[in-house]
Structure 1
Amino acid sequence: MEWIALCRYAGIGDPPGPLTPKSGEAVSEIWHEAINGITHPAFVVDASWKVLARNQPFSEIFPSDEGPSNALRWMIFEGRSLMAEWDTTWAPHVLPILRTDLAARPDDCVLKGLEEDVLADPRTSRLYGVAGIAPRIDESERPLQHAMHGPGLVKVCMAQPTASPGTRLIFLIFRPGNQKSSPLRSRILRESEASPFEVA
């Protein structure tokens, strides 16, 4: 927190990178307690995307009732069979995360090993080569096979615990079925939820 505050007082905004390689490796116990009180699937990952904490709804997504040890590796490799049309629905969004995270942490052995595996696999290597540089993981619904609820669509929402820069708190908003929300319905919902005191 002191490193973040120092950078902000210096007028450069949030830090361009971690202060030490150990930053982003752990969260306090309160985060384990917090996600257990969330009804949506939720989990916390470290800077290498290793899962530090998870709640029961998250574990129920997976056939093993445990879930992955590394969420980014799972989205790129192990989970592909549970993500319909992975090449177009998930890969363009998760592969740029690997690239940008490695740019911030070039000495991260876990991320470096994951990139090596991506480049060694013909399918992911081709997609990695054409993937953009700006991750957009939480912009739209994507298909996901839920172990308990069957096929559905999921939105991914990410936030960062401020006391542990580099870690991420991730919510999965899962909706059974394959019918995507229409842009018109989403706009109507946003307008209906707007404050009556807002000026257009």
Structure 2
Amino acid sequence: MNKTALRALLRERRALIAPESHGFSRPTGQGRRARGLSQHQVDQLLHRAIGTYHRLESGSYPNPPTSLLRDVARLFGLNEQEWVSLCRYATLQEPPGPLHQSSGKEVPGVWQEAVDGIRHMAYITDASWDMLAYNEALTGMFPGRNVPSNIMRWMVLDPAGRRNLMQWHTAWAPMVLPQLRAALASRPEDNTLRQIEKEVLADPETAAPYDAGNPYPHPDGDERPLLHAELGPGWVTMCAAQPLTAPGARLMILVFHPGARRDHTRAPMLRAH
């Protein structure tokens, strides 16, 4: 626990909330004059035992439950970056999921311009793998230049996806399906992901590798065989990143090399000198 940082974050955000906005009156006589909600009022609003919030803010609450942190974060109006900081300060761990289920569903519009400026195939999906932005280079990868609306559904359920993703049963499905499971673990109420999971479990081709539950957190740096609709068979190396304002969204840059795998050399890891 980082007590100093935790105390500073919580005090600052608590001071911004007017007691009157939650039905409390400010004392007019002698006594407390601090801005914002009192610690006692926070306990009342969160329906917690008196002293619970004081223990959290003072850093004397070891391993506070996620439910308490989430309730405090929502009461204080924290954004997703502040939510990450709160969990790191209080538990020294990453949050188990987004603060709001709506997070990860949109990115700033400038991302389309940024994606257009990338030479390689590139796209951005939201937390449900719905397509948000892509460049012209990506369209040539798909037959008829028809970019799918949901890239996860295309990868695991669409017959066209299984054809384009060469060696689908061994090089793609076992790596992609665990990503769906991991996303649902942090977003159990996501209707799009739930529907995809339902269809995956109903398909014998995908049910078994999905049920295997193998861990596979992300495809960053992976190299896999791909049948490009216009350039033919080859190998694609994936670069994965996340827009910081949209937890769960992902930026994918696909570096494609036509021909056999042995025809190109994989770039070494980049390290600072």
Q: Give the TM-score normalised by structure 1.
A: 0.87
List per-residue Cα deviations over 1:43-83 (Å, max 9, x = no partner). 11111000111111111111131311111111112200112
Matches within 5 A, 1:134-153: 134-153=216-235
Structure 2 residue aligned with 1:62:
142
Do the aligned partners of residues 194 and 2 (structure 1) sit closer, same or farther apart at CA in structure 2, a change above 3 Å counting?
A: closer
Do the aligned partners of residues 31 and 178 (structure 1) sit closer, same or farther apart at CA in structure 2, a change above 3 Å counting?
A: same
Tell me how far 1:194 sits from its aligned partner: 6.1
Tell me how far 1:127 sits from its aligned partner: 2.0
Structure 2 residue aligned with 1:168:
250
CA contact (8 A) 2:188 2:194 kept: yes
Tell me how far 1:166 sits from its aligned partner: 1.5
Matches within 5 A, 1:99-118: 99-118=181-200
Which of the numbers 127, 134, 143 marks the counterpart of 1:47? 127
Structure 2 residue aligned with 1:122:
204
List per-residue Cα deviations over 1:95-117 (Å, max 9, x = no partner). 10011011111111111111110
Alpha-carbon distance in structure 2 between the residues aligned to 1:136 and 1:2: 24
Alpha-carbon distance in structure 2 between the residues aligned to 1:114 and 1:170: 20
Structure 2 residue aligned with 1:71:
151
Q: With CA pairs under 8 Å and 6+ residues apart, which has the higher RCO, 1 or 2? A: 1
- Unmatched tracts of structure 1, length 5 or more: none
Alpha-carbon distance in structure 2 between the residues aligned to 1:37 and 1:165: 23
What secondary structure sits across from 1:90 in the alignment? helix
CA contact (8 A) 1:50 1:70 kept: yes
After superposition, the CA RMSD in angstroms is 2.1
Moved more, 39-48 or 55-64: 55-64
Amino acid at match of 1:24: G
Amino acid at match of 1:76: V
Which of the numbers 177, 183, 207 marks the counterpart of 1:95? 177
Alpha-carbon distance in structure 2 between the residues aligned to 1:47 and 1:2: 19
CA contact (8 A) 1:143 1:178 kept: no
- Unmatched tracts of structure 2, length 5 or more: 1-80
Task: Return the index of the structure with the highest Cα Rg.
Answer: 2
What's the % identity of the aligned pairs? Answer: 46
Tell me how far 1:163 sits from its aligned partner: 1.2
